[in-house]
Amino acid sequence: MFETLPALAPDPILGLSAAYKQDPSPYKIDLGVGVYKDEQGNTPILDSVAEAQKILLQSETSKVYITPQGNPGFINGMLTLLLGNNSAALNDSRVAAVQAPGGCGALRILAELLMRVNSKTKVWVSDPTWANHIPLLGDAGLELHTYPYFDKASASIKFDEMMDCLSKVNAGDVVLLHGCCHNPTGADLTKEQWQEIAKLANKVGFLPFVDTAYQGFGDGIDEDTYGLRTLVENVDEVIVAASCSKNFGLYRERVGLAAIICKDEKTKSIAQSQIQSVARGIYSMPPSYGGALVDIILNTPTLNQQWIAEVDAMRNRMTDLRAMLVNNLAAQNVDKDFSFINTQKGMFSFLCIPPEQVQLLRSDHAVYFVDSSRVNIAGINHNNVEALAKAIAQTM
């Protein structure tokens, strides 16, 4: 019966990875898929994670199911990481949460919950946004719209246009915001801009939906929660999807958190029962292993310190790589000022070059990244940066 379905083109990013693997060039450069890489181009297991694995191996006594809600140590640890030690919402027991299979799982179950509230819910996503937001939210049945976000010509956020658009959405609409390290542009909102969004959310009555997948990769683990915490402190209801894939390097273990900050404890109980029922209807209970590791790391002081240092090292390396790329491009005397790359945050930047140039870089220089011109900064290293800058210069 499946022959009636159309065959689909491969996912552009995963397709790019396959093309990179097949390219015989010894000089090929992969700036495509969003995984952190070290100077050698590897994505190693963090030392804190390796330590936690040893502890878990010694302490785990059963593989019996965990609950649909997930590991309580993981959930509490993550909520504190996201909302802070002194969070009024946590102190007032206003936060419903479940462990989810990755940030993707969290996004999807929150989308399903929004559908239960109102099957006509509209969600506003930034233009551009992470490509997978569209199926994760749209396939649940939500109606997606975009708000202006990034201007490629000036390589900056169109904040006035964004605010103008969001001021006209309906009460009860949902606005998806990237907590930090915007994917794909790397362009983040300032503190003042987050405050203005919180005010607008109250004025218009839209529900902020924060997706945070790179906590610690922007300015710091606490610093990167500024937007989320500002919203939670000022707006009655906020929903959050968090991922542990990048900052814990636990990609394949599928660890994430879905949280609903409610206006009161009674609503929290309703939300908790509903989100668990959504999860139960899709995958029943989350995978245990990754969440158990994060629980150990967040709740063992020495491991927590070690993890923070590892996140700091990843972030600082990416900041250095940005500067190195900008300097190497400047040394090629290119006719474009790429210094905006230094102001962007996290793992991604838009190079703000046209798709034809991206395709030339791929076909003539074996440099792989998506047509939007999003590059994974962590794919750059001391050995490839000069060749990369030369290739970009030659295609300009």
The binding site for ligand PLP (CB under 6 A) comprises: 34, 102-104, 130, 178, 183, 211, 213, 243, 245, 251, 256
CA angle 262, 268, 272 (to 5 degrees): 125
**Shortest distance (Å) from residue 93 CB to ligand PLP:** 27
- Residue 124 annotated as catalytic: no
242/97 Cα distance (integer angstroms): 11
Q: How far apart are CB 102 and ligand PLP at their closest, in Å? A: 3
130 a catalytic residue: yes
Spatial separation of the C-alpha atoms in residues 64 and 280, rounded to whole Å: 16
- Least separation in angstroms between CB 19 and ligand PLP: 19
| Annotated catalytic residue within 124, 130, 194, 307 | 130
Would strands 348-350 and 238-243 be described as parallel, antiparallel, or unpaired? unpaired
Residue 169 or 213: which CB sits closer to ligand PLP? 213
Considering the candidates 173, 188, 211, 224, report the single residue annotated as catalytic.
211
C-beta closer to ligand PLP: residue 178 or 322: 178
Nearer to ligand PLP, 162 or 389 (CB): 162
3-state SS track over 239-291: EEEEECCCCCCCHHHCCEEEEEECCCHHHHHHHHHHHHHHHHHHCCCCCCHHH
Of 243 and 372, nearer to ligand PLP (C-beta) is: 243
- Residue 69 structure tokens: 């809600």
Known catalytic residue: 211?
A: yes
CB of 242 to ligand PLP, least distance (A): 8
Instruction: Out of 37, 246, 268, 345, pick the active-site residue.
Output: 246
b/e 14-27 (16+ beta carbons within 10 angstroms → b): eebbebbeeeeeee
Q: What residues are labeled active site?
A: 130, 211, 246
